[in-house]
Structure 1
Amino acid sequence: MTTVVFECEYKGLRYAGIGLPAAGAPHTLYRVAEDALRSAVLAGGGPEAVVAAVTEGAETVSVSLDDPELRLLPPLLPTSDNNSLVNGFMGTHRSKFDRDPEPDEEFTPPNYYLKGFGSWLRMPDEPLVTPAAPDWLLEEPEVALVYANDAEGVPHYAGYTFGNDLNDIGLHLRNKWAWTPYAKLCETSLTPWLFLDEPPVTVTGRVSVERDGVTAWSGPFSCGSDSLYHRVPDMTEYLFSYPLLRRPGLVNYLLLGADKASYHDGFRIEDGDRLVIDVSSHGVVLANPVRFGQADAAVS
């Protein structure tokens, strides 16, 4: 079974946990320094070494997920200097191509985008803020790979988690070549759970959009590597050939792309809707309310 670790803040201090906490039940947390988990990943040794580095000799507390003083964090997030980046690929799924790739087919990089800093990531149940008047919103359940660069700038793969790359697909489709960066200016959420394993082959589940406490739309999704047209090693090797992404100490959250979802059924997400991504294949749920942002403010 894949080892899962996570980080959080509790009463102003940083802790790490092992395994997926059960709702309403106390879970053991281990007091850690901000860079403890990242340092363990960089040191190598696999999941056992990471767990040992976090747990051995650490002070512990027992906390429930619903404790109001507990704040979950994106995996490996460097909170002190925000040396982190959220970025991803578009058009990666097989369903968006009219054929399957040949085994020896030359790699053609998919479209790529920068989403923002790691500090912009939202956690489960936190609102996802959009522009004040989005054209047509689209939820995107995705696998997020997590990398940490060492002091020489070499990226080290840490593991994977899951995200919702909410974006304005309506704006994107009105001008694919110029307006896509604007369309991506909606907040993104991640689960805090870091799966210490290779990128997952099969990831399946269901998305639901809740409105006024009732399911207004629901549909299945698949976002593992078996659903992608592009090979994950090809995408990551190409991306990290760019020196700017090899800055020493950088933590990289890399979204692998999503398949069709509510937009493709003609459904419109509204202000106040709750997006629920149930990654049933991995036993985790990511839910966030949508909040339209404030109207344009005067610039002085």
Structure 2
Amino acid sequence: MSVLFECAYDGERYVGLGVPQDGTALRLYPLHGARLATLIGQSGGDAAAITAGRIPVDVPAGERHRVRLLPPLMPDHVGDALVSGFMMTHNVKADATMQDQPNWFVKGLGNSLRVPGEPLSVPGDAVAVCEEAEIVLVYVGDQEGRPRYMGYSFGNDVTDIGRFKQHAGHLSYAKLCEAALSPALHLGPPPRKVTGEVTIERDGAVSWKGTFTTGTDALHYELDAMMSRLFAYEVLHWPGRVHYVYIGADRSSFHGGHTMADGDRVSLDFTSHGVTLTNTLAWAPLPA
């Protein structure tokens, strides 16, 4: 399966192959103004065809500070991207009250996404925050505006689960924390099984550790039906709009009795797929 990532280097956009690792050299291919989503569509998802004829630029490890990794297919204007997701999708959370379609929420526009290494802002009056290790589906609106599936990535849908537990109608507020997203776009259908580990550190020491399982086999709902129902709403159709859809999580540190705090360092190791997201939580000051 092909894996691509996009980045900005010296003010220009480039594409690379594979999952970019911290502290390593990168081989980048200039896009020369082309939109990566268009190239993926034209090539049928063939990474070799996307990079063919593009003269690579090698960035040594010591120059990585000049490279800014981007969320997959992030448009030039963050307002052209919508970040959303579904809740209570997994079998471990299923009960007799489950509906035929899971609840959907809007998390924000493109500026709500952060790549690994960047801090994740949490509202200053958050009640109880948790991580949520998830598969994230990426869609781009075609010329008629219909969202077309491009591939998947992995993310951390940070959530004020305490606010939701206090009042189920406040899910929309609970989701207004920034989210982490891997810059790697995996071209292909969403994986059936993903396994990994969460590590939370406070003041340099591990304060909580746990495992997670996700993937389409873990879902209580049929994924194609979920997405078809969602994108049947024409209000979500717009040419070129990028949709990042978080499809739900396994149990989190909150369910393990852990309480997060400002400055906690959260690492999600999607071990089965070689992807790691590490971000520090930052409680935002309340407005005066």
Secondary structure at 1:281 match in 2: helix
Cross-structure match for 2:215: 224
Cross-structure match for 2:84: 87
Q: Within 5 Å, which residues of 2 pair with 1:90-239? A: 90-98=87-95, 108-177=100-169, 179-239=170-230
- Whichever residue aligns with residue 117 of structure 2, its letter is D
Name the stretch that deviates more: 32-41 or 269-278. Answer: 32-41
Determine whether 1:61 maps to 2:57. yes
Give the TM-score taking structure 1 as reference length: 0.91
Q: CA deviation at 1:98?
A: 3.7
CA distance, structure 2, for counterparts of residue 35 and residue 146 of structure 1: 18
Name the stretch that deviates more: 14-23 or 162-171. Answer: 14-23
CA distance, structure 2, for counterparts of residue 259 and residue 156 of structure 1: 26
CA distance, structure 1, for counterparts of residue 148 and residue 61 of structure 2: 29
Asked whether the equivalents of residues 5 and 20 of structure 2 are also in contact (C-alpha less than 8 Å), the reply is no
Asked whether the equivalents of residues 71 and 182 of structure 2 are also in contact (C-alpha less than 8 Å), the reply is yes
CA distance, structure 1, for counterparts of residue 102 and residue 9 of structure 2: 40
Q: Percent identity?
A: 43
Q: CA deviation at 1:25?
A: 2.8
Asked whether the equivalents of residues 191 and 286 of structure 1 are also in contact (C-alpha less than 8 Å), the reply is yes
The runs of 5 or more residues in structure 2 that have no matched partner are: none
Asked whether the equivalents of residues 42 and 156 of structure 1 are also in contact (C-alpha less than 8 Å), the reply is no
Q: CA deviation at 1:47?
A: 2.5
- Residues 198 and 96 of structure 1, relative CA distance in 2, 3 Å threshold: same
Secondary structure at 1:41 match in 2: helix
Q: CA deviation at 1:64?
A: 4.5
- Residues 17 and 263 of structure 1, relative CA distance in 2, 3 Å threshold: same
CA distance, structure 2, for counterparts of residue 186 and residue 133 of structure 1: 11
Asked whether the equivalents of residues 34 and 78 of structure 1 are also in contact (C-alpha less than 8 Å), the reply is no
How large is the Cα RMSD of the aligned pairs? 1.7
Name the stretch that deviates more: 157-166 or 146-155. Answer: 146-155
Cross-structure match for 1:24: 23
Q: CA deviation at 1:35?
A: 4.4
Q: CA deviation at 1:81?
A: 6.1
Asked whether the equivalents of residues 21 and 65 of structure 1 are also in contact (C-alpha less than 8 Å), the reply is no
